[in-house]
Amino acid sequence: MGKFRSKDPLALPADLWIQPGALAKGPKDSFYGKLNEVLAGMDFAGRIHRICAPHYKGDGLAAGRPPIDPAVIFKMLMVGFLEGIGSGRGIAARCADSLIIRRFLGYSLTEQTPEHSSLSVFRQRLPEEVFAAAHELVLEGLRTHGLLKGRHLGIDSSVMEANAGLSGLVRRNDEKSYWKYVRELAREAGVEDGDPAAVAF
Query: Which residue intervals of 53-157 are DSSP H helices?
Result: 70-82, 88-97, 99-105, 116-125, 128-144
- Which pLDDT value is given to residue 18? 64
Give φ, ψ of 50 to 5 degrees. -70, -35
- Do residues 63 and 57 make contact, with C-beta atoms less than 8 angstroms apart? yes
Distance in angstroms (rounded) separating the CA atoms of residues 159 and 147 = 35
Alpha carbon distances (Å) from 105 to 30, 112, 135, 182: 14, 11, 18, 63
Q: Could you tell me the sign of the dihedral formed by the alpha carbons of 175, 180, 183, 184, in that order?
A: negative
- Which pLDDT value is given to residue 48? 94
Between CA 20 and CA 26, with CA 22 as vertex, the angle to 5 degrees is: 90
- Which pLDDT value is given to residue 71? 93
- Which pLDDT value is given to residue 133? 93
Tell me the mean pLDDT per 10 residues along the chain, length 201. 51 62 67 90 93 75 68 94 92 92 89 91 90 91 78 69 59 70 78 67 51
Contacts of 98 (CB under 8 A, 6+ apart): 26
- Which pLDDT value is given to residue 13? 59
How much of the chain is in helix, strand and coil states, percent to nearest 5? 50, 0, 50
- Do residues 127 and 85 make contact, with C-beta atoms less than 8 angstroms apart? no
- In angstroms and rounded to an integer, the radius of gyration of the C-alpha atoms of the chain is 30
Burial of 118 (0-12, 13-18, 19+ CB in 10 A): middle
Q: How far is CA 136 from the centre of its chain?
A: 17
- Which pLDDT value is given to residue 67? 78
pTM confidence score: 0.61
Say what the alpha-carbon torsion angle 139, 143, 148, 152 is, to the nearest 10 degrees.
70
